[in-house]
Amino acid sequence: MASFFGSPFLSHPLTRTLNFSSSSQTPPPPPPQTPPRSQPLSSTSSGQPVEPVPLKVQQQKPSSANSKVESTDWIASTLTRRFGLGAGLAWAGFLAFGVISEQIKTRLEVSQQEANTRNVEKVEEVVLPNGIRYYELKVGGGATPRPGDLVVIDLQGKVVGSGDVFVDTFEKEKKPLALVMGSRPYSKGVCEGIEYVLKSMKAGGKRRVVIPPGLGFGENGADLGSGEQIPPFATLEYTVEVDKVSIAPA
């Protein structure tokens, strides 16, 4: 039996058992080796997020910028998609140059003035209590001047009897006249009678007016310069057209 236990046949399995136990001890090292491998991965993963963080921030910045662009240009992009590039550029120009509601209102008033202005089919004489006579040539469709308003007019004036023209802005090279309602002294051929007539006119309107001497330049007449003279006690005939009525600048 001793020889049997001491035979190499039994020693060989024992050796295998020992080898198996040693081999069973060998697998545990991989787990310890795995953590080191996982640790570099975790370190690299922890290191990599450090780099992607600015990348994510960089990716978020364009998105925020795009959101701002979309918020400011949403109307322009909508107009561009629906009505073409011209409409989008028009709205962008509106935002760029700060076109305010007052400007839009002015444009609407001008368009309404043009739409409501009409020529008079039958011209009739109107006599006022102060002696002024006028003939309505065109009924204006705009605003009526009030005290303090700036009124831009085209004016032609001549002396009744002689026919001498002392003012005429209807010519192409001449500029219209501007006056503030209620502001004196008058100049450039404008007299008190003209201001009185303007109170009942509207922007776009046109009248032929005959003004007696008392509401013209009276007993003294006037020297308008450049050789233009209005004699004393002259009756004056004007053609006046209201181009624009607006608030006078401060």
Of residues 248 and 202, the one with the higher pLDDT is 202
User: Computed from CA positions of residues 205, 211, 215, 221, in that sequence, does the dihedral angle turn out positive or negative?
Assistant: positive
The pLDDT, as a whole number, for residue 201 is 95
Which residue is it, tokens 């007299």?
191
- Other beta carbons within 10 angstroms of residue 238's beta carbon come to 23
Cis before 129 (ω within 30): no
Q: Is 230 exposed, middle or buried (0-12, 13-18, 19+ CB in 10 A)?
A: buried
Class of domain 125-247: alpha beta
How far apart CA 205 and CA 188 sit, in angstroms, is: 21
Reduced to 3 states, what is the DSSP secondary structure of residue 215? helix
Over residues 27-86, the pLDDT tens digits come to 555 555 544 454 444 444 444 544 444 444 444 444 444 444 454 456 656 656 666 666
Residue 237 identity (one-letter amino acid): E
User: Computed from CA positions of residues 184, 189, 192, 194, in that sequence, does the dihedral angle turn out positive or negative?
Assistant: negative
The pLDDT, as a whole number, for residue 171 is 86
Residue 189 in this model has a pLDDT that exceeds 50: yes
Over residues 193-206, the pLDDT tens digits come to 999 999 999 999 99
Q: How confident is the model at residue 185 (pLDDT cuts 50, 70, 90)?
A: confident
Q: What percent of the chain has pLDDT over 70?
A: 54
Angle at 75 between CA 70 and CA 77, to 5 degrees: 65
Residue 211 identity (one-letter amino acid): I
Q: Residue 36 in contact with residue 43, Cβ under 8 Å? A: no
**DSSP H stretches of helix in the chain:** 2-5, 8-25, 30-50, 52-72, 74-83, 85-97, 101-116, 192-198
Residue 221 in this model has a pLDDT that exceeds 50: yes
Q: Residue 168 in contact with residue 197, Cβ under 8 Å? A: no
Arithmetic mean of pLDDT, 188-215:
95
The candidate with the shortest Cα–Cα distance to 190, out of 213, 214, 206, 167, is 167
How far apart CA 26 and CA 4 sit, in angstroms, is: 32
How far apart CA 48 and CA 81 sit, in angstroms, is: 43
